[in-house]
């Protein structure tokens, strides 16, 4: 029994080592791609715009830092979608499209460790970009409002944004695991998060059904940490507000379940 347990532990340890090696290799690949510069530019310039646009337009800054931050955080969802599309859209499908799987799959490591390593690298790179966005915005708010520029709600929003990034990466890995081309999985991921899911949640709200199970609906929690209330459009429908606790659990499901489904589907795919 001890011998069997030891072999199992040794096998798991070896798989984990292979996963880390795969993640490190994939991170280096991301750092060599030009898209890293696009993401860095957006992560720095988007939050800076909110500090620049007020004096350029001769408009005074909001009296409260919460109002300033709430306006800027409304663009985090879009930024996350762009970053995830850049770094996670072709996580698995790229291996099949470029035929690099011919040289990778024969190596003495299982496919799960390869794909999970790529998932981890995409998650880390995307998370770093979102963290940079919040760092720039936080420093900007501190320079404008002093020590009150960064609040507990801002830190809460950051944690939700990182979690939401994990959920979006989960969607990307899922589609990357079932589609054969990197461009296909990237575009499907982008349009699913940017257009399709938001349209579906709107249709559900028109039908008086709260879309609590849709990822993008719960992404509003990033901005709603400063407070939000349902908005009634007379004669049409009510724009509901996601519940914080339920929303966090839903995002966690997207972040944890979908990647493993994508990896499981990709594991059985034939190399063509």
Q: Say whether pLDDT at 106 is over 50.
A: no
Is 209 inside any structural domain? no
75-89, 136-150, 254-268: segment of lowest average pLDDT:
254-268
Where does the pLDDT of residue 105 fall: very low under 50, low under 70, confident under 90, or very high at 90 and above? very low
Is 154 inside any structural domain? yes
3-class secondary-structure state, position 188? helix
Phi then psi dihedrals of residue 231, to 5 deg = -115, 120
Q: How many domains does the chain have?
A: 1
Determine contact, residues 215/171, Cβ cutoff 8 Å. yes
- Give the contacts of 203 (CB within 8 A, at least 6 positions apart): none
User: Above pLDDT 90, what percent of the chain?
Assistant: 43
User: Cα separation of 83 and 126, whole Å?
Assistant: 6
pLDDT tens digits, 193-250: 999 999 999 999 989 899 999 999 999 999 998 888 778 887 777 888 999 999 999 9
Whole-model pTM: value is 0.88
Q: Say whether pLDDT at 83 is over 50.
A: yes
User: Cα separation of 157 and 173, whole Å?
Assistant: 24
Full residue range of the structural domain in which residue 34 is found: 17-193+257-267
Q: What is the pLDDT of residue 214?
A: 96
User: Cα separation of 151 and 188, whole Å?
Assistant: 36
Tokens of 268: 């059985």
Phi then psi dihedrals of residue 28, to 5 deg = -60, -35
Half-sphere exposure of 47 (CA within 13 A, CB side): 23
Q: What is the pLDDT of residue 98?
A: 58
Is 167 inside any structural domain? yes
Q: Say whether pLDDT at 186 is over 70.
A: yes
3-class secondary-structure state, position 128? helix
pLDDT tens digits, 159-173: 999 999 999 999 998
Is 25 inside any structural domain? yes
Is 110 inside any structural domain? yes
Is 9 inside any structural domain? no
pLDDT tens digits, 15-63: 667 677 777 777 777 777 788 999 999 999 999 998 888 888 888 888 8
Is 222 inside any structural domain? no
- Across the range 171-180, mean pLDDT stands at 87
User: Cα separation of 26 and 7, whole Å?
Assistant: 28
User: Cα separation of 63 and 51, whole Å?
Assistant: 14
Is 224 inside any structural domain? no
């Amino acid at each position: 029994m001890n011998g069997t347990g030891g072999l199992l532990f040794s096998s798991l340890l070896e798989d984990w080592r292979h996963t880390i090696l795969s993640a490190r290799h994939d991170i280096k690949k991301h750092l060599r791609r030009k898209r890293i510069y696009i993401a860095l530019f957006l992560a720095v310039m988007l939050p800076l715009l909110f500090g620049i646009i007020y004096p350029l337009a001769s408009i005074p800054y909001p009296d409260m830092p919460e109002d300033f931050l709430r306006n800027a955080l409304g663009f985090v969802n879009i930024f996350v979608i762009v970053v995830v599309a850049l770094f996670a859209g072709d996580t698995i499908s790229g291996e099949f499209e470029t035929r690099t799987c011919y040289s990778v799959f024969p190596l003495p490591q299982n496919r799960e460790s390869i794909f999970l390593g790529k998932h981890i690298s995409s998650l880390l790179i995307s998370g770093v970009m979102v963290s940079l966005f919040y760092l720039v915005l936080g420093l900007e708010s501190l320079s404008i409002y002093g020590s009150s520029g960064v609040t507990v709600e801002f830190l809460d929003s950051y944690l939700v944004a990182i979690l939401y990034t994990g959920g979006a990466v989960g969607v990307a890995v899922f589609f990357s695991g079932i589609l054969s081309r990197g461009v296909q999985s990237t575009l499907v991921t982008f349009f699913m998060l940017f257009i399709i899911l938001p349209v579906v949640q709107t249709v559900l709200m028109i039908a008086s059904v709260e879309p609590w199970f849709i990822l993008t609906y719960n992404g509003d929690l990033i901005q709603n940490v400063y407070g939000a209330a349902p908005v009634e459009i007379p004669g049409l429908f009510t724009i509901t507000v996601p519940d914080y606790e339920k929303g966090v659990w839903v995002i966690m499901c997207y972040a944890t379940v979908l990647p493993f489904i994508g990896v499981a589907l990709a594991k059985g795919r034939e190399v063509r």
